[in-house]
Structure formats: structure tokens, C-alpha cells
A and B are shown apart, each in its own frame.
Chain A
Amino acid sequence: MGQIIELVVKRIALGLVTMVVISLLIFVGVEALPGDLATAVLGQSATPETVAAFRKELKLDLPPHVRYFAWLGGFMKGELGNSLANQRPVAELIGWRFGNTMFLATSAAVVAVPVALILGILAALYRNTLFDKSISMATLSTISFPEFFVAYILIALLSVQVVIFPSISNINEQMTFWEKIHAIVLPSLTLTLVVVAHMMRQTRAAIINILASPFIEMARLKGIKRMRVIVLHAFPNALSPVINVVAVNLAYLIVGVVIVEVVFVYPGLGQLLVDSVSKRDIPVVQASGLIFAATYVALNLLADVMSIISNPRMLNPR
């Protein structure tokens, strides 16, 4: 057990270092954007004097390293500052939208992960049959199309041809849970179609890889049924690669949904990020960026820990 804790602590420490590096990259990246809020707000015709005064007011005239540490220090204390565009606190702006992003990601994950694992296991079980090949074809096709294309196809089919689901997923706090679910079916389905292929193929490959092991031959020679051999003998030993690919896809569901949010006009964090970049609303951009990064790092950390735990050698040392 001590060994596991040591490993986990090490991973967490590494995660923190990664976060600091990312915060620096985000800051430098935002700095590199042409123009700033002052030019964006005041427009092309503003005199240099007004721009300079406005900058001073927003503290944009301080040297970059001073602003970086001020920002990082504030972030540590949970003070994300105010939006430069509308003066509302960043935490309030982001909080609700991040919740929405998580809601959409969770709804997609709840469907996508079990479906991918089950399809992967079945594909391995009926390897090289018509069933296996059709699943591969279908999932590969959905991953090959760009997300917005899948999204528009779904809109065309399910909200134009047959009017079942709304094409705009503009949810608000007054809606009940089921109303929200109904509203996000299409974006959720789009995301599911996009991520299933990757997870399913990794599951299939990991299991087929394990099927060549002597202990699988042993299980078969004990007269164990094929399904049980795959589910009980192969799958637990294929967990580590599967967990990793699931984590990457979960992270993608949260971080990579910008396009889907824009298509369905969904009030998530991705859309806010896009808006804020065009408005040069730096505190919002930085905070959203850092939250995305933290999600990514945390999910990968979780995957590492789960991989370690899924290994009986680590869990039950000699």
C-alpha cells in the first residue's frame, strides 16, 4: 500500500509542476495575441493617449512578469479577478458554464464509455467476423467525419426531417433535469459518435493482445466458455491501456467540445473561451485555459492511479 501512496504522491507533484508550466504557457500565449482589450474596446480611431490611459486603469501597463505573478497569486487564493469586458467576477461567469460543460461531457461519457467497452469486447470475441468488421467500419466512419459535419447531419435527420430533438441546446437554470437532457441529446450524441471509435478499438486491440497469452490457452483448455474467457480472463488484464484511452477521451469531451458547443449554441465553457478571445478579455481566457488544463492533468492523473490499482502486482505485493 505504501508503495502505491508514494507513487500517487509523486504523480500529484508532477501534475502540479505541469500546471505551473501550463500557466506560464497560457500567459505567454495570451501576451502574444495581437492587440489587447484597450485597442479592442476603444477601436481603431482611438488616440494613443486614451489607449494609454485605459491601459493604466486596467493595469495592462505593468511589466509582464509582475502581472504573471499577480495573476498566479490571485488564482492560488481563488481570486480570478473581474472580466475586463463586463466587469462581472470571472468565477461567476465561468462557474455556471463549466458546470454546463461538465454536464454535457458526463452525459456523453455515460453512454460512450460502456458502449465502447462492450463493443470492443464483442468485437474481440467475434474477431474477424462480419460483426467485427461492421463495427469497425461504422465507428471509423463516425470518427473520420469532422465533428461539425456529424452535428449538422444529426440536426438534419433528427430535428429537421423528424422533429424529435431541438437543434439549439440553449439550456438555462429554470429547466428541469429531463428538459435539459432532452435539450442536449444531439450534442451529446455527436460527442459520443466521435469518441466511441477510439475507445472501442483500443479495447478490442488490448483484449486481442492478451488473448495470445498462455493463461488464456490455459483457461480454454479448462473448458471455460469463450465469453467468460474474454470477460473474466482477458479483460481484467487489458485494463491498463483501456483506462488510459478512456481518460484521454474523457478529457477530450471536456476540453475539445468548442466546436460542438458553437454549433448547438450551448452555453458551455468552450463557447465562452472563443468569445473571450475575440474580445481580448484576458482574465477570462486565462482562467478558462487554466481550468481546461487542470481538468486534463487531473484526468490523466486519475488514469495513472487507476492503472496502478488495476495491477494486482501493485495492489498485493509479495
Chain B
Amino acid sequence: MTHLLEMKDIYIEGESDEKWLPIINGINLTLDKGEVLGLIGESGAGKSTLGLASMNYTRQGCRIASGSIIFDGTELVGASTETLRKIMGVRIAYVAQSAAASFNPAHRLVKQYAEAPTQHGIMSFQKAEKEAIDIYRRLLLPDPEHIGYRYPHQVSGGQLQRAMVAMAMACQPDIIVFDEPTTALDVTTQIEVLAAIKKITQEFNTAAIYITHDLAVVAQLADRIMVLRYGDLVEENNARKMLSNPKEEYTRQLLSVRTLTENKDLSVSEKDVILKVEGVTASYTGKEIVLEDIDLKIRRGRTVALVGESGSGKSTLARVITGLLPPLKGKTVYDGEMLPPALKNRKRDSLRVMQMIYQMPDTALNPRQRVSKIIGRPLQFYYGMRGKAAEDRVLELLDKIELSEKYKDRYPTELSGGEKQRICIARALAAKPDLIICDEVTSALDQLVAEEILKLLRDLQNELKVSYLFITHDLATVKAISDEIVVMLRGRIVEQGRKTDILTPPHHEYTELLLDSVPEMDPNWLDGVLAERARKIAQGIEVKTTFIEE
């Protein structure tokens, strides 16, 4: 039997410092009509590169060194640009990770939808316009008749991602390459997009290559899964077989659910409270309220997880606490003493007790400073340490974050993402703070690396009795690390309490939606959730699938 797509012995190289280094090492990939293939791996595994190579396309600075790509009987390696151009968008379409970046901001959605079919001479603009409405409707986009006439910035992230799936469907291609299409979305939005992708690929019997780092997501869609690592194939199997019986250790690690929980004494006592936020209302413009009437307590040696979707005000609250954004109303009390609202009025010691770790370690570290200088700066600033004393302390801190002392002379660019985040942690610890605010610190990291960072943070807490305010949208992280949970929605707290209380029913309806939306490894999970919703609607129970106004 011939396959729809057959990639044989693919070697892809990337240029770095005028040398060609291997990215993909001799991978074979086949795809049959209507089949969904999941490509799994961490960043740098070569998933996107391999996916794009299905249409013999490589990004700037990459090349397909050898191999053969046969699509529907045509050899694409060595084919003319014109042959390839006639396949792209028509027979093989692409859905990118960030719809916000991948839609042209200057044109309306339907114009971009209709571009491939009209430019390839498949149909007239009028016909494409009509078909767009049908596809938008199938993808459950609101107001399908008119949404196409909006500009990309006028629709929400989840809608835009579905509009991009629609755009990929415009020529009814044989294959769609989905490149992490839900990674940038909130969980409640992700579930909508996943459902839309599943629905439309089934209805049109479209084959798909689904690229992701999230096994639980691919479990819902894929018939077959390939696990990649450093450009090599680790394991390939039928999806269900792989999930129930992974053969390789690496796959098992990816599959393992994070379990960092330990039983702590969580009895509440008022004297442990180190930071109190009382009645805080804040706004950036003075008009639109971003935070409303927030009350929060953080106790010594505990972790408070601040959960919510993008735009819920989590990071704004961190800015208020640190004094970056003075609130309109309310106050921040540290250790029984009210802190001045604005950063510039705070004393050096009240700056010291609170430190921050950011989402992007790349941008949080000065690329022109060595690690010793980055960590040494707070030592000098808060403690006036210099010379030998500071040097010893830097080594001590490096030891705490489990990096050897040779790291002290490196520049941030010489470090991996996980190592950079460790340096950020060391910099925060250098001030000997009571509270560390962690703003999405694991979001930009690979799953296994993220887990190690969480472990490190937990160990440091046990050793140093530091408190964390852990801002995240990822419920798995919350389950793994928190002692108390605060759920935020549109600038307000909808529910807060001890982790065990929040995670056991009955929940607030928003918390329930958040918890229900986290994909599980069970391949039947998505179908189950959708069936449950359909059942409720049939019974006349209102089902809210979002609490964010779109």
C-alpha cells in the first residue's frame, strides 16, 4: 500500500557559526490518508523542522541534507519551486503556534482565508467568502457571517487560532501540519481549539501531523505517536499502545505525572503571616480597573499559588505587591508594617525581603554580565559584600542551585534555559528574601526541566523557610507545588483556601471549569468532556465554556 506521505531517511542540518550541525538524523515518517500523527518532544527535538519538511520547506539557516519526501507519488526533494508552491497551502497546509503573529495585521481575516484558494485559481473570492462562513460555523466561531471581516487584533486568541485552522482548511488539503497550535492558549480556550481541530479533521478526513510537547494534548487527537529527542526517533507506536505501555525510559518520563506533593502541617496561624494585601484595587490607566478589592495573606515558608487565565490580573497583583504599580486603593502590609505604595519610597530593606523570578530567564538576565556579576549584584547592593566574601557567597549560592562553581565565569548565552532560570533563582536568594514572587517561572521551560526547577524551589523552601507567591496558569504546576490556592478571574478573587480544600469538590464553577479543562493522558478525555457538556445542554443545564468576555 502506498502512503499519502512518505519521508525516508531524512537528514536536516542547521547552520551555526558557519558550520552545518545535524538537527534531524535519518528519520522515516509515513502518513496515510485521514491519519493523525503526533510528533512529541521537547524544544530542540526537531519536531517543527521535521513537520515543515513534509512540504520540503526549511526555515532560514536550515537545509535538507539528504532523504526523500514522496507526497502522493511525487518526489518533493529536488522538485522545482513552482511544483512545491502549488502543493503548499493547497494540498499541505500549515497551522502555526501563534495565530497572533501568523496573521498579517494589515488584512481582514477572510481576505487571508481566501488568499490561497483564489491565488491558486481554485475558486473565486466570492465563493471562498461563502465557504469561509461555513468553515467558521463548523469551527464554532461566534458570528460566523461577520467574524471574517474583522482584523486579527479584533478577535481573541482562541478565536484567532480557530480562524487559522479555518484558513488551513480553505483548499481542503490532504494534510495539515499543526505546529503547537494550543501551546500559547489558556486551558479553557485550548479545549475549544482541540475540539475544533478534532471535529474538522474528522469531517473532511484530513490527515494531520500534530506537533506538541504536551502528551496529554496529543493523546486526544493522534492515531499514532512518534517521540523525538535531539533529532532522533525515540519511539513510535499506536497512540493508545504507547500511552498504556511506553517502551522507552524517556517516554515514561514524559508520561509521568508530576508528584512533588508532601504532607505539610498547614494549620493556619495569624502570627506566621508575613505579607498581607488588603482591599487592593488597581488600574494602569486610572479608568479601567484591572484588580478589584483583593485580599491575600502569605505565610512564612508556604507557597501560595495564584491561578488564572491570561488577563486575570495575576501579574498586576505582583506589580502592586512589589511597588511597581501603586494601587488606587488598599495597602500592602509586610510583617505588621504598612509598606509605601510606590517602589521609590520603600526602604532598601523592604526591597530586599521581596524578590522576583520571571517567566523568561533569557530577558531577565543581562547578556553582557557573567554569572558571578549577576548573582554578586544583590550581595553588593543589600549587604555591601565585595571581594573574597562576595565570591565565596556566589559559590555557596551556585551550590544551592546545584550548579558547579565553573558556572561563575559563564555568560547567560552559554547556559541552557533551565540553567538560566536557576541563575535567576540564585540571584533572588542572594538577597536572603522572605518572599519570592515566581511569575510563570516554568512556562517557558520544557516539561522535564520545569519539574527539576519545581523540585529545586521546594527543596530551597524546606531549607530556607522562604515563602513563594507562585503565579501560574498551569494547574499541574499548582497541584505540584502549592500549599494554598487563590483563583483569580477578571481582576477578582473567586476562590481561595488551602490546596486540599480548593481541589476537592464542591468547587466554584470557574475553578471547576479550569480543573475540567486540563487535558488528561486518557485518550477518551476530550470526547468525555464534550459528551458531558452535550448531555448537560440536552438536559437544559447551562454550560459555560468561558468566563472571559470575548
Nearest CB in chain A: distance from B160 CB, A? 12
B351 beta carbon closer than 8 Å to chain A: no
Whether the pair A313, B105 counts as a contact (CB closer than 8 A) is yes
By beta carbon, the residue of chain B nearest A316 is: B151
A111 beta carbon closer than 8 Å to chain B: no
Whether the pair B88, A222 counts as a contact (CB closer than 8 A) is yes
Whether the pair B102, A318 counts as a contact (CB closer than 8 A) is no
**Interface band, chain A:** 20 to 34
Whether the pair B106, A218 counts as a contact (CB closer than 8 A) is no
Chain B interfacial residues counted at CB < 8 A? 31
B407 beta carbon closer than 8 Å to chain A: no
By beta carbon, the residue of chain A nearest B117 is: A222
- With A222-B116, A312-B151 already in contact, the answer to whether A214 and B96 are too (CB < 8 A) is yes
B87-146 residues at the A interface, CB under 8 angstroms: 87-90, 93-94, 96, 98, 101-107, 115-116, 119-120
Cross-chain contact of A215 among B57, B88, B101 (Cβ < 8 A): B101
Whether the pair A228, B154 counts as a contact (CB closer than 8 A) is no
B221 beta carbon closer than 8 Å to chain A: no
Whether the pair A224, B151 counts as a contact (CB closer than 8 A) is no
Whether the pair A218, B102 counts as a contact (CB closer than 8 A) is yes
Whether the pair B88, A214 counts as a contact (CB closer than 8 A) is no
Nearest CB in chain A: distance from B351 CB, A? 36
- With A220-B88, A222-B116 already in contact, the answer to whether A316 and B102 are too (CB < 8 A) is no
B153 beta carbon closer than 8 Å to chain A: yes
Whether the pair B153, A318 counts as a contact (CB closer than 8 A) is yes
A224-B111 Cα distance, complex, nearest whole Å: 13
A294-B60 Cα distance, complex, nearest whole Å: 46
Nearest CB in chain B: distance from A253 CB, A? 29
- With A316-B151, A318-B153, A318-B154 already in contact, the answer to whether A223 and B86 are too (CB < 8 A) is yes
- With A223-B120, A225-B85, A312-B151 already in contact, the answer to whether A218 and B90 are too (CB < 8 A) is no
Contacts of B85 in A (CB 8 A): 223, 225
- With A214-B96, A214-B98, A316-B151 already in contact, the answer to whether A221 and B88 are too (CB < 8 A) is yes
A192-B106 Cα distance, complex, nearest whole Å: 31
Contacts of B116 in A (CB 8 A): 222-224
A313-B115 Cα distance, complex, nearest whole Å: 21
Cross-chain contact of B104 among A219, A221, A313 (Cβ < 8 A): A219
Contacts of B7 in A (CB 8 A): none
A237 beta carbon closer than 8 Å to chain B: yes
A55 beta carbon closer than 8 Å to chain B: no
A232-B118 Cα distance, complex, nearest whole Å: 14
B55 beta carbon closer than 8 Å to chain A: yes
Beta-carbon contacts of B146-168 to A below 8 Å, as 1s and 0s?
Answer: 00001101100000000000010
Nearest CB in chain A: distance from B119 CB, A? 6
Whether the pair B89, A222 counts as a contact (CB closer than 8 A) is yes
Cross-chain contact of A313 among B94, B107, B153 (Cβ < 8 A): B153
Contacts of A225 in B (CB 8 A): 85, 119
A222-B101 Cα distance, complex, nearest whole Å: 15
A237-B119 Cα distance, complex, nearest whole Å: 21
By beta carbon, the residue of chain B nearest A216 is: B104
Whether the pair B105, A218 counts as a contact (CB closer than 8 A) is no
Cross-chain contact of B87 among A223, A237, A316 (Cβ < 8 A): A223
A233-B152 Cα distance, complex, nearest whole Å: 14
Contacts of A15 in B (CB 8 A): none
A223-B90 Cα distance, complex, nearest whole Å: 8
Contacts of A221 in B (CB 8 A): 52, 55, 57, 88-89, 93-94
Nearest CB in chain B: distance from A207 CB, A? 13
Give 25 CB contacts A-B under 8 Å. Answer: A213-B101, A214-B98, A215-B103, A217-B59, A217-B102, A218-B104, A219-B115, A221-B89, A221-B94, A222-B116, A223-B85, A223-B87, A223-B89, A223-B90, A224-B89, A224-B115, A224-B119, A233-B106, A233-B107, A236-B104, A237-B106, A312-B106, A312-B153, A313-B151, A316-B151
Q: In the A-B complex, list the 9 residue pairs whose CB atoms are closest, starting with the nearest.
A: A222-B89, A223-B88, A223-B89, A236-B106, A214-B101, A222-B116, A221-B94, A218-B102, A214-B102
Point out residues on B near A: beta carbons under 8 Å: 52, 55, 57, 59-60, 85-90, 93-94, 96, 98, 101-107, 115-116, 119-120, 150-151, 153-154, 167
